[in-house]
Structure 1
Amino acid sequence: MADRVGVYPGTFDPITLGHMDIIRRGAKLVDRLVIGVTTNPSKSPMFSVEERMAMVQREVAGIGGAVTVVSFDSLLMDFAEREGASMIVRGLRAVADFEYEYQMAGMNQQLNDRIETVFLMADVSLQPIASRLVKEIAIYGGNISRFVTSSVESEVRARVEQIGRKGS
């Protein structure tokens, strides 16, 4: 029997404790979990794709099972097909996430009905965490230590020092 491969796509700018929760749980559902780090034209990333890949690789290093980190700049379903995936893993935080993810899953199914989308509810304590908000809090000098690991916090703080903090 072939290995069951899942893809967990995202921008991971930066990777949060919420992402890590979905990665840990998603890794238990498949033989190999591919973390797909992508560019999203509608977002302006704080970190380059290479920086985000290095960050994600460092953070997932301690997770058991076969977890790999790959960058991609294509349709998700094309990427999933190339990786041999049978499922897309997505995390849900709130009803607003569900509406967007439901629409995306429907479109993805139209593109490739051999790949299922599996939704994992974020842990209740992690549901409010969003990379966009983590960056905003950091840019305004707030404490992000409850939302990211200490090493990610250091990287975000260093980047904020480079680009300049607001509200000071």
Structure 2
Amino acid sequence: MKKIGFSGTLDPITNGHMWVINEARSLADEVVVFLSENPAKKPKFTAEERKSIIALSCAEQGWDNVSVVIVRGDYTARAAKKQGVHCLIRGIRTTADFDYENLIQQTNVDVLQGAKTVFVMPPRDLGSVSSSFVKALEGPIGWNWIMKKFVPGPAYHAWVLSWLRREWETLWDYEHRDATAIAHADDWFARLTGETAYGGAARHYHNLDHLVHGLCEIRVWAANTRPDAADVDIIKQAFWFHDAEYGHNRDAGAPTNEEASAQLWLGSHLGQEMSDAAELIRATDHFQEASITHRLKDILLCVDLAILGQDDEVYHNYARAIRQEYLHLPDDEYRRQRSGALAHLSRKAEAGQLFRDAYFADQYNERAIANMQREIAGL
């Protein structure tokens, strides 16, 4: 077969969709993804954004025989046939899928005189993966870690950026800001999520995942404890910037990562009162935290360390990412330094001093001890 088509809204494209596309590649020389632009579905991403995400996802796999076409104002099966594609491929996960797809197949051929359809059945581990399923994951603590398992990298990156964008716009009240203030905030969002900060390729842990996780922790803590809204904003401001400047080999006499991040925040001129969040950023220096006082320090430190108390899979991914960030250290040296750091944190947790806020201690202290001790044993 020369060409075969795959159609859908693909908002976002999932690993299930990617499996079907790969099956299509085994059946034809060329695969054309027909992307529906259906405003009634109110997609998260525009058609052009989805086209780019699909193309990047296929390129990441080295699939150079896949193209993407946006279908506007036509039935996909009819549009496909017009472009010389006489067969479409669809994945069938359940009997309900079959009943629905069979009806669409009959309509495509008998009513629209469009392309025929062949059906394939995905493996069991992808049987429940759909765009709707992935969308439903968003929100609770850890949603990003879970979503990452079900979508290709470019789709995940686009989704996380979209989520962070909403958080950023809410923090800076875009709805009531003028165009100049919004443009200024936009520039800083691009800077913080870009290559020079959390979006950097060398950021294996202190990256966009870390940013999403921490902001979720802040949101859930605030929902459960009802603190002053102004304090919540200060914590969020500090968290956005606290690891913006991050490096292992700073020159002698250079400011610490925390001080450099605080200075970056002060130079952003995003808020009216900048010093409060700057001092809070400085308090995330775990080597000097005892000498820095701030009424919100315990909360931000708890948010920063909450990753230690996550479930086994998330903690394993975190530990692996930390090793990647310290690849410049030989194995023996890394084991020595990492074991020492974990032993120190574990002792603090056992003494009830790691999570100094009761809410976080109740949530994470016991599991954090178990996680750290297990990692030490494995080093």
| TM-score band w.r.t. shorter chain | 0.7 to 0.9
Q: Deviations over 1:58-114 (max 9, x none)?
A: 111234462111111211122111220120111111112111101100111113557
Counterpart position of 2:111: 111
Counterpart position of 1:59: 57
| Percent of residue pairs identical | 28
Distance 2:136 2:114 in 1: 38
Q: In the alignment, is the contact (CA less than 8 A) between 1:4 and 1:86 conserved in 2?
A: no
Amino acid at match of 2:110: Q
Distance 1:113 1:49 in 2: 25
Counterpart position of 2:154: 151
Q: Determine helix, strand or coil for the equivalent of 2:28.
A: coil
Q: Deviations over 1:110-137 (max 9, x none)?
A: 1355732100111211111111121121
Q: Which has the higher helix share?
A: 2
Counterpart position of 2:7: 9
Q: In the alignment, is the contact (CA less than 8 A) between 1:27 and 1:65 conserved in 2?
A: no
Counterpart position of 1:49: 47
Give ranges in structure 2 of 5+ residues lacking alignment. 168-214, 221-379
Whose relative contact order is higher, 1 or 2, with alpha carbons under 8 Å and at least 6 apart?
A: 1
Q: In the alignment, is the contact (CA less than 8 A) between 1:10 and 1:37 conserved in 2?
A: yes
Q: Which protein shows a greater Rg? A: 2
Q: Which moved more, 1:142-151 or 1:87-96?
A: 142-151
Q: Which runs of 4+ in 1 moved over 6 A?
A: none
Distance 1:145 1:152 in 2: 9
Counterpart position of 2:372: none
Q: Deviations over 1:1-39 (max 9, x none)?
A: xx6221100111111100000000111111211001112
Distance 2:63 2:153 in 1: 21
Q: Which has the higher strand share?
A: 1
Counterpart position of 1:23: 21
Amino acid at match of 1:147: F
Q: Determine helix, strand or coil for the equivalent of 2:88.
A: strand
Aligned residues: 166
In the TM superposition, what is the alpha-carbon distance from 1:41 to its structure 2 partner?
4.0
Q: Quick one: which of 24, 31, 34 aligns to 1:33?
A: 31
Counterpart position of 2:125: 125
Amino acid at match of 1:54: S
Give ranges in structure 1 of 5+ residues lacking alignment. none
In the TM superposition, what is the alpha-carbon distance from 1:163 to its structure 2 partner?
3.5
Normalised TM-score (structure 2): 0.41
Q: Cα RMSD (Å) of the superposition? A: 2.2
Q: Determine helix, strand or coil for the equivalent of 1:33.
A: strand
Q: In the alignment, is the contact (CA less than 8 A) between 1:4 and 1:31 conserved in 2?
A: yes
Amino acid at match of 1:79: A
Distance 1:42 1:48 in 2: 13
Q: Does 1:162 align with 2:165?
A: yes
Q: In the alignment, is the contact (CA less than 8 A) between 2:86 and 2:116 conserved in 1?
A: yes
Q: Determine helix, strand or coil for the equivalent of 2:27.
A: coil
